[in-house]
Amino acid sequence: MSKLVKRVAALVAATAVWSLAPQAHAQAWPAKPVTWVVPFAAGGPTDAMARDIADKVGKQLGQQVIIENIGGAGGTIGAGKVAKAAADGYTFLVGHMGYMGAGPSLYKKLTYDPVKDFDAVFRFPDTPLVLLVPKSSPFKTAEELIAAAKKAPGKINFGNAGVGSTSHLIAALFESKAGIDVTPVPYKGAAPAMNDLIAGQVDAMFDQSNTALPQVAGGRVNAIALTSLQPMPQQYPNVPPLAAGTLPGFEAATWYGLYAPKGTPKDVLAKLHAAYLKALGDAQWTKKMADQGIQLLPEAQYAPGAFAAHTAAEVDKWRKVAADANIQID
């Protein structure tokens, strides 16, 4: 038994604490397919991660988990819909650090509160990002791109998955750390942005390293830098971390997880959480994720309650970041 499988088995036992809630609802649930809303276009990183996890969790539950894509406004449209959905255990939101962490600091008129309107169910593994350019790009390194952006502020444009998406946030962080000015070009998800990057319609883009991998390996785009602190020799040989070049200490990864509308029965949440932990006990699956560069989390992050605490801490963190940088979208 691998170390992770053993740790997950211990956590499954720990979940019993959460499931002390009344069992009547959980026995009947799920009596029909469950929907997870992905608030981006199909085919992007959030969609791919959600489909993979939904498949494994659905098998544990003995019921289908359907993915519904509701894209737009950096994930905030889909998140707002789930916040108002019936809290009956059949609609959930796949959330990430953009609209569920930074969202409240960026959008003045957000229609939901990530902490007050949702129950955080469990956190997915994290994914670092990769800086990509079209095949025809003159930039072979991040340093070349930074030098060109310094000479012509605003001229280089960066595709992203929508205002406040992680591809947008990380590009903004990159801009601020590098002391450059680039022009963001928002799409309804990373998948349509990637199509335009391949076609050379945009100059660059940060994308999740796992979903970008087939595009890079297939020779459709070039990877020039990583946002992980460490190199990723298995997935991206010869691609340096930004931290190894002119941006020491630069580190970023996207966090994701599953949220329920506030008030969803506690026994449903406990059953769902236990199904996820059981799925994570599949060593072949976790190895496959690790092979793609997906970062499995320290065991404490899988415990009941840990994801709610993480979400609240991230909302606070981004409030400080946005206030310091004076960022607001509407």
Provide DSSP, 74-89.
GGHHHHHHHHTS--SS
Give, as one character, the DSSP assignment of residue 297. Answer: P
User: Residue from 156, 190, 260, 277 that binds ligand MLT (CB under 6 A)?
Assistant: 190
Strands annotated E in 181-289: 183-186, 204-208, 221-226, 253-254, 256-261
User: Residue from 161, 182, 197, 303 that binds ligand MLT (CB under 6 A)?
Assistant: 161
Examine residue 40 and tell whether it contacts ligand MLT (CB under 6 A).
yes
Quick one: 29 or 250, whose CB is closer to ligand MLT?
A: 250
Quick one: 98 or 293, whose CB is closer to ligand MLT?
A: 98
- Binders of ligand MLT among residues 41 to 100 (CB under 6 A) are 44-47, 98
CA distances from 90 to 15, 39, 77, 86, 93 (A): 21, 16, 19, 8, 10
Quick one: 14 or 42, whose CB is closer to ligand MLT?
A: 42
Least distance between ligand MLT and beta carbon 298 (Å): 23
Structure tokens at 48: 């791919």
SS3 content of the chain, % helix, strand, coil (to 5): 45, 20, 35
Quick one: 78 or 281, whose CB is closer to ligand MLT?
A: 78
∠ at Cα 278 (277, 283), nearest 5°?
100
Most distant pair of Cα atoms in the chain: their distance: 66
How many chain residues interact with ligand MLT (CB under 6 A)?
Answer: 14
Structure tokens at 115: 């902490």
Least distance between ligand MLT and beta carbon 297 (Å): 19
Quick one: 211 or 286, whose CB is closer to ligand MLT?
A: 211
Q: Rounded CA gap, 170 and 112, in Å?
A: 23
CA distances from 28 to 84, 86, 281 (A): 23, 17, 25
Examine residue 268 and tell whether it contacts ligand MLT (CB under 6 A).
no
Examine residue 208 and tell whether it contacts ligand MLT (CB under 6 A).
yes
Quick one: 44 or 304, whose CB is closer to ligand MLT?
A: 44
At residue 2, the 3 state secondary structure works out as: coil
Looking at beta carbons, which residue is closest to ligand MLT?
Answer: 44
Quick one: 89 or 189, whose CB is closer to ligand MLT?
A: 189
Least distance between ligand MLT and beta carbon 246 (Å): 24
Examine residue 39 and tell whether it contacts ligand MLT (CB under 6 A).
no
Quick one: 166 or 286, whose CB is closer to ligand MLT?
A: 166
Least distance between ligand MLT and beta carbon 206 (Å): 7
C-beta contacts of 82-86 below 8 A and 24+ residues apart: 82/37, 82/118, 82/259, 82/261, 83/111, 83/112, 83/113, 83/117, 83/118, 83/261, 83/262, 84/111, 84/112, 84/261, 85/261, 86/261
Segment contacting ligand MLT (CB under 6 A): 39-47, 57-65, 131-139, 244-252?
39-47
Examine residue 166 and tell whether it contacts ligand MLT (CB under 6 A).
yes
User: Residue from 91, 105, 167, 311 that binds ligand MLT (CB under 6 A)?
Assistant: 167
- Binders of ligand MLT among residues 98 to 137 (CB under 6 A) are 98
Q: Which residues form the interface with ligand MLT (CB under 6 A)?
A: 40, 44-47, 98, 161, 165-167, 189-191, 208
